[in-house]
């Protein structure tokens, strides 16, 4: 009897389970939700002149303005600040009572004065006790700079002789902006890797379930090694994940996402699922029950997500070679159409191989130990001691 028999049983049972199919399609609905979020982010970014990923809270801060000339009011961007035209006394009273974050006073004849080349004095009163005063101050500062620059240019042109040679400026830029890369590349690559983290419960179910149902003894008595049991069960989950990844890829391609070389993308995600399921198997082999396994899995997955995502951000900001250790970086580079040297593939594949070997070895060794399967279960420190001293390992 080989591990493939276990894989076949588990895979068939999975596909026959109505509850599994419901979860499978609920996950697809999560994907649709993600696509909506993704598209709204991209639309938001592309419609703006400045690119940012900050919360866009309308009316986050408030500011009273006395600007009878209209010089300032017509140019301020009221995205995060609610602007209220009000008198001086009422505004100062509002600040004193904490009803508004700031008050901007613009002289009544500001428009005339600035056109005639005179300096105008504006005053912004800020409520120091309100943490949002910096939001109001920065918005007023940036609007003032825009107005100032515009009038400065007009006045300069009017006083400079026509035959004056003006230094020309030619601006060029390389690369895509970081926020846009984060939205377009990082979010897409996270979407592609999401199925890898959604099926952890399956391996928990098949391994911890045997312990809870007390069927572990029967499994161990079967004519196959514990290694074959763990690998057989893991491969069934890897197959299920690959099915989901394939479906997600097809949906994303239909939804209009640009993914270069989808087959290579699929192969790399498939390969990455092997060590992730290996780590999940370690958690499953050690856990006593579903609850413990669920929490252990959440903590393990935080580490996995960190290992996958942080190098991606490192690669985007520094083009670091070591960032290729994360398969997520390689997948992002593949679907972006980058030319990738073999050494970069090599470092990622080596990481997949090493983590796979170590995780499956630990999972098998834990599964082979009677004290872990049937109790009393040793603590983690005791296991580390056994590992160092080669006892029972």
Partner 1 sequence: MKLSALAKKEGQDILKNKIYLGVVFVQVFILLGTFGIALATSIASDPALLDQYGATSALKVGVPDSIQGSQLESDLQKQNLNLTYYKNISDAQQSIGTTLVAVVGFNSTTGQNITVKTDTSNVFYPVVSSKINNAVNEYQTQKKLASSGLSNTEIQRIINPINLQVVNLNENHPANIALDSSYFVEIMYGFIVPFILLLPFFLASNIVTDSIVGERERKTFEVLLMTPISSSMVMLGKTLPILFFSLIQSVAWIILLDLLKVPIYNPLFMFIMLFFMGLGFIGIGILLSMFVDSTKEANSAITIILVFATFILFMPLFIKTSYFTPILNYIPTIIMVKIGSTPNIGPDILISGLPTILLSIMIFGFTVKYFRRERAIRL
Ramachandran class of 59: left when φ > 0, alpha when ψ lies in -120 to 50, beta otherwise: left
Which class for 8: exposed (0-12), middle (13-18), buried (19 or more C-beta within 10 A)? middle
Cβ 321 to partner 1, closest distance in Å? Answer: 11
Q: Which range touches partner 1 (CB under 8 A), out of 8-16, 40-48, 246-254, 360-368?
A: 40-48
Cβ 224 to partner 1, closest distance in Å? Answer: 25
Q: Which of residues 132-151 bind partner 1 (CB under 8 A)?
A: 132-135, 137-141, 144, 147-149, 151
Q: Which of residues 322-341 bind partner 1 (CB under 8 A)?
A: none
By the rule CB under 8 A, 285 interacts with partner 1: no
Return the residue of 65, 66, 114, 282 that touches partner 1, per CB under 8 A.
Answer: 114
By the rule CB under 8 A, 378 interacts with partner 1: no
For partner 1, the closer of residues 275 and 296 by Cβ is 296
By the rule CB under 8 A, 215 interacts with partner 1: no
At 65, is the secondary structure helix, strand, or coil?
strand
By the rule CB under 8 A, 290 interacts with partner 1: yes
Count the residues of the shown chain that bind partner 1, applying the rule CB under 8 A: 93
Return the residue of 1, 13, 32, 37 that touches partner 1, per CB under 8 A.
Answer: 37
By the rule CB under 8 A, 239 interacts with partner 1: no
How far is Cα 226 from Cα 367, in angstroms, rounded to an integer? 7
Return the residue of 174, 339, 343, 389 that touches partner 1, per CB under 8 A.
Answer: 174
Q: Which of residues 66-105 bind partner 1 (CB under 8 A)?
A: 79-80, 95-99
By the rule CB under 8 A, 26 interacts with partner 1: yes
Burial 92-108 (b: 16+ CB within 10 A, else e): bebbeeeebbbbbbbbe
Return the residue of 66, 204, 277, 282 that touches partner 1, per CB under 8 A.
Answer: 204
Q: How far is CA 238 from CA 97, 183, 262, 281, 339, in A?
A: 62, 28, 18, 12, 28
How far is Cα 120 from Cα 107, in angstroms, rounded to an integer? 8
Q: Tokens 């004519």 identify what position?
A: 223
Reduce the secondary structure of 235-294 to three states and give it as a string. Answer: HHHHHHHHHHHHHHHHHHHHCCCCCCCHHHHHHHHHHHHHHHHHHHHHHHHHCCCHHHHH
Query: Which tokens is 198 given?
Result: 């959604």
For partner 1, the closer of residues 224 and 243 by Cβ is 243
By the rule CB under 8 A, 370 interacts with partner 1: no
By the rule CB under 8 A, 165 interacts with partner 1: yes
Q: Which range touches partner 1 (CB under 8 A), out of 6-14, 38-46, 219-227, 234-242?
A: 38-46
Cβ 30 to partner 1, closest distance in Å? Answer: 6
How far is Cα 368 from Cα 285, in angstroms, rounded to an integer? 9
In the chain, the N- to C-terminal Cα span, in Å, equals: 25
Cβ 51 to partner 1, closest distance in Å? Answer: 9
Return the residue of 6, 65, 76, 126 that touches partner 1, per CB under 8 A.
Answer: 126
By the rule CB under 8 A, 118 interacts with partner 1: yes
Query: Which tokens is 177 given?
Result: 């902006």
Q: How far is CA 132 from CA 72, 139, 145, 146, in A?
A: 20, 11, 20, 22
Q: Which of residues 291-320 bind partner 1 (CB under 8 A)?
A: 291-292, 294-296, 298-299, 302, 316-317, 319
Which class for 175: exposed (0-12), middle (13-18), buried (19 or more C-beta within 10 A)? exposed
How many residues can be counted in the chain? 393
By the rule CB under 8 A, 389 interacts with partner 1: no
What's the gap between Cα 122 and its chain centre?
A: 42
Q: Which range touches partner 1 (CB under 8 A), out of 3-11, 158-166, 323-331, 382-390?
A: 158-166
For partner 1, the closer of residues 251 and 358 by Cβ is 251
């Amino acid at each position: 009897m080989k591990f493939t028999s276990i894989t076949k049983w588990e895979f068939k049972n999975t596909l026959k389970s109505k509850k599994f199919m419901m979860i499978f399609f609920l996950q697809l609905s999560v994907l649709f939700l993600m696509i909506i979020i993704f598209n709204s982010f991209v639309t938001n970014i592309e419609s703006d002149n400045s690119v940012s990923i900050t919360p866009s809270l309308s009316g986050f801060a408030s500011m009273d303005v006395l600007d009878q000339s209209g010089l300032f009011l017509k140019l301020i961007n009221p995205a995060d600040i609610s602007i209220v035209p009000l008198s001086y006394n009422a505004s100062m009273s509002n600040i004193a009572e904490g009803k508004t974050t700031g008050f901007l006073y613009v002289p009544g004849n500001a428009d005339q004065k600035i056109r005639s080349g005179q300096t105008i004095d504006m005053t912004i009163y800020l409520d120091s006790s309100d943490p949002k005063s910096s939001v109001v101050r920065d918005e007023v500062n940036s609007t003032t700079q825009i107005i100032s620059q515009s009038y400065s240019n007009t006045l300069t042109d009017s006083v400079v002789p026509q035959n004056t040679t003006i230094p020309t400026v030619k601006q060029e830029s390389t690369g895509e902006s970081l926020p846009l890369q984060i939205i377009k590349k990082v979010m897409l690559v996270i979407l592609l890797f999401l199925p890898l983290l959604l099926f952890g419960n399956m391996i928990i179910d098949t391994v911890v379930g045997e312990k809870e149902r007390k069927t572990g003894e029967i499994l161990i008595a079967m004519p196959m090694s514990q290694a074959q049991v763990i690998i057989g069960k893991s491969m069934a989950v890897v197959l299920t994940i690959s099915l989901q990844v394939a479906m997600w890829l097809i949906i994303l391609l239909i939804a209009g996402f640009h993914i270069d070389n989808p087959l290579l993308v699929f192969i790399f995600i498939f390969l990455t699922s092997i060590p992730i399921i290996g780590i999940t198997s370690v958690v499953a082999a050690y856990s006593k029950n579903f609850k413990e396994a669920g929490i252990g899995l959440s903590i393990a997955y935080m580490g996995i997500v960190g290992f996958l995502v942080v190098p991606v951000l490192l690669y985007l900001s520094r083009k670091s070679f070591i960032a290729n250790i994360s398969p997520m970086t390689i997948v992002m580079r593949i679907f972006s159409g980058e030319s990738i040297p073999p050494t970069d593939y090599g470092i990622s594949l080596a990481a997949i191989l090493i983590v796979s070997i170590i995780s499956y070895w630990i999972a098998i060794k834990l599964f082979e130990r009677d004290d872990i399967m049937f109790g009393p279960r040793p603590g983690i420190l005791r296991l580390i001691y056994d590992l160092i001293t080669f006892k029972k390992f």
